[in-house]
Structure 1
Amino acid sequence: MSQGNGWALSRIRKNLADNPCTVPCLFFRDRVLMTEHGPMSADGGKELLVLVDGGIQRGFWYGHVLKVKGQNGNGEDYWVALIVRSGQAIDAPTVPLVFERYYHHMRIRSNYSPLYADDEEDVFAVRDNFDDACLALAEMIRRFDPSKRMEREIDSMEYIKPEGRLDPRSLDVYGLCGQMDENGGFPSPPEYVYPDAGA
């Protein structure tokens, strides 16, 4: 649009802001979200989500910090920082809904891929507390290189594996098979409820 059409852009922005049915999402804008009571964290503990890469490198790359129960109910709970890749774009207009949708796509639908790692803590780290797990995730993000974390397709029949090894520990946190209903389908993802436009 030309400079003289600033009034049109202003009108568009005003109408977007005024209409309760044109709601912006948070995650792709802010990239780092935290909640005091996460749906995936043991005992409803804190959770942190990071959008590491928003679809530029063959999918969406998410960082996650959450509390995990000690093995078989024995032992101390611990904190995990991890990075996974997913084909699913996850976002919402509210922080709780972002976390609920993330839970749905990762735990209910198992829509994620474990990654390759060169170092023990490239994509997964265990810590004693939330802050230290966040620092471990920050270091993973500093070293993040998607070409070292997943197979690359050469053609439809051949793939190149990166150096390092596949780190399957995210499976222990998110599970593998998803949670289908009795008909073999998945429940619908959590929906946003628009405010009453007439209110």
Structure 2
Amino acid sequence: MNASKISSLDTQTLQTQLAQAIDTHPQCRPGLLATHRVVSTACGPSGDVELLARVHVGALGRGHWYAHVARLPVPAPETSKTEKKTVNTAPPYPFTALICHSNIVYDAPEVNLLFQRHYYWMRDRVYYTVPKAGHRDQLCRSATSFAQAVQALAAMLRTFHPDHHLGEPEGGEFWDTRVQALYGTTVTVIDGAPLAPPGTPLVWEAEQ
């Protein structure tokens, strides 16, 4: 079959026409992670400033890597039964910088919706993978401030390789389970009905 003859100028014109059709369609808005890569909010689901980025889109079956900076949930002050005084249980390093993995790809055209979807898949549905690491500072670091956490995240990303943190730990590697401190390990309940256990295929996954 002979290839169609079309000039580069004609190709560019057709691309522009298609882009205009997409841009003017109210239901075809691009996602923020696709257009900006890094998105922040002054008050996310954690109740404080947060940052979210998609750092790697993997091949089929390899999942996707995200970067997240957020304040850890602060437990309520405890009262000592013996001394009858309040004990401060707040973590000394409240902000966490985390590189996390999930088999779910998500995005949204609005900031609030994007963070809601991130927490839905990572915390509510627990669709994250506990990664392996070679040392403690590879995928997760704690910080006293949001700025320090973002700087720590940038430092981790400079040496990050998406293929080095999946699979069974070998040769001194270990499971970095600190992702569970931010997102939890249990399945939540929505509208009184428990969700499927973590890893249960969605309908569209099972049909493929």
TM bin, normalised by shorter chain, reads 0.7 to 0.9
Sequence identity of aligned pairs in percent?
30
The alignment status of 1:38 with 2:39, answered yes or no, reads: no
| Structure 2, gaps ≥5 residues long | 1-5, 78-87, 197-208
Which of 161, 172, 177 lines up with 1:168 in the alignment?
177
Tell me the equivalent position of 1:127. Answer: 143
Tell me the equivalent position of 2:22. Answer: 16
How many residues were matched structurally?
175
Aligned runs of 1:135-150 on 2, under 5 Å?
135-150=151-166
On the 8 A contact 1:147/1:162 being kept in 2, the answer is no
Q: 1:146 to 1:92 in 2, by over 3 A?
A: same
The alignment status of 1:75 with 2:85, answered yes or no, reads: no
The alignment status of 1:180 with 2:184, answered yes or no, reads: no
Report deviation, 1:72: 4.9
Amino acid at match of 1:100: Q
Q: TM-score, normalised by structure 1?
A: 0.79
| Structure 1, gaps ≥5 residues long | 152-159, 187-199
Report deviation, 1:9: 2.3
The alignment status of 1:85 with 2:88, answered yes or no, reads: no
- How many Å separate the matches in 2 of 1:122 and 1:113? 15
Higher alpha-carbon deviation: 64-73 or 99-108 = 64-73
Report deviation, 1:150: 1.4
Secondary structure of 1:168's partner? Answer: coil
On the 8 A contact 2:69/2:149 being kept in 1, the answer is yes
On the 8 A contact 2:125/2:195 being kept in 1, the answer is no
Amino acid at match of 2:49: K
Secondary structure of 1:91's partner? Answer: coil
Amino acid at match of 2:181: D
- How many Å separate the matches in 1 of 2:155 and 2:23? 37
- How many Å separate the matches in 1 of 2:19 and 2:140? 41
Regions of 4+ moved over 6 Å: none
- How many Å separate the matches in 1 of 2:136 and 2:11? 55
Amino acid at match of 1:28: A
On the 8 A contact 1:110/1:174 being kept in 2, the answer is yes
Q: Which has the higher contact order (CA 8 A, sep 6+)?
A: 1
Decide which structure has the larger Cα Rg and report it: 2
Q: List per-residue Cα deviations over 1:57-93 (Å, max 9, x = no partner).
A: 8111011100114455433451011111100001011
Secondary structure of 1:81's partner? Answer: strand
CA RMSD of aligned residues (A): 2.0
